Amino acid sequence: MTPAIAAIIWAIGLVAWVAIRLPYRRRARRLRVVRARRDLTERIVLPLAGIGLSVVPTVYLLTGFPAFADYRFQPWMGWAGAVAQLAFLALFYASHRQLGRNWSVTLEIRDEHRLVTDGLYRYVRHPMYSSFWLWGLAQLLLLPNWLAGPAGLVGVAVLYFARVGSEETMMRQTFGDAYDAYASRTGRIVPRIFG
Ligand code: SAH
């Protein structure tokens, strides 16, 4: 494992992210939105997450900036990063498939929105956000730079903490007791182990 291979593994994650999302974005555009939360936080945190997960690392890989923050690459980091990247892609792909027409980039409820409680959603309420955390971890492990490496995790943290509460409020307003019952038996991003 070399820094160049680690960089390629990171880039494959970015390309796969766009490719997996594309059909869902297209479909979502055609479905009527009945409830949306597009507040200021949503408008700020989404671009911030995108900067941390794609712009900062892309600039780093293309230009080497910021070189002063480079540190020595260790092969084990590349291997661990590859495992995290694979886990990210598997969860990202599966959660899109299982959410199907209920998926959206921003917080939205669509016409005939169904509360998904099966597949990954049987164990966790936010498997796609679990995948984002893994993606941030993969970036940290794959890019040996004190700024470009953790930038993804910072972006994910901002997005996750700014959004997850309002997303659950929106789901509660839409699905009422059914969501409360669902929330009581699931974890947010990791499965509940103790009852
Ligand atoms: N937070 C989820 C989904 C992210 S996509 C995850 O991490 O997997 C965001 C959209 O998914 C929101 O607009 C919301 O309408 C929808 N959503 C979230 N949880 C859902 C569920 N259990 N069933 C159906 N739609 C859901």
- Give the atom of ligand 1 at the shortest distance from the alpha carbon of 108: 13
Centre of ligand 1 to C-alpha 46, Å, is 15
pLDDT of 141 strictly over 70: yes
- Region of poorest pLDDT, from 22-31, 37-46, 180-189: 37-46
Ligand 1 mean position, distance from CA 2 (Å): 37
What pLDDT is attached to residue 195? Answer: 58
For residue 107, which atom of ligand 1 is closest to its CA?
A: 13
pLDDT of residue 42: 83
Q: Is 85 in the pocket of ligand 1 (CB under 6 A)?
A: no
Share of the chain above pLDDT 70, in %: 99
Measured in whole angstroms, how far is the alpha carbon of residue 2 from the centre of its chain? 26
- Could you say which architecture CATH assigns to the domain 3-185? Up-down Bundle (1.20)
Domain layout of the chain by residue ranges: 3-185
Mind giving me the DSSP string for 6-52?
Answer: HHHHHHHHHHHHHHHHHHHHHHHHHSPEEEEE--HHHHHHHHHHHII
Indicate whether 187 pLDDT > 90: yes
pLDDT for the residue 37 = 86
Mean pLDDT of 118-129: 98
Q: Are 139 and 57 in contact (CB under 8 A)?
A: yes
24 lines ligand 1 (CB under 6 A): no
Q: What is the mean pLDDT of residues 154-175?
A: 96
Tell how far the Cα of 54 is from the centroid of ligand 1, in angstroms.
Answer: 22
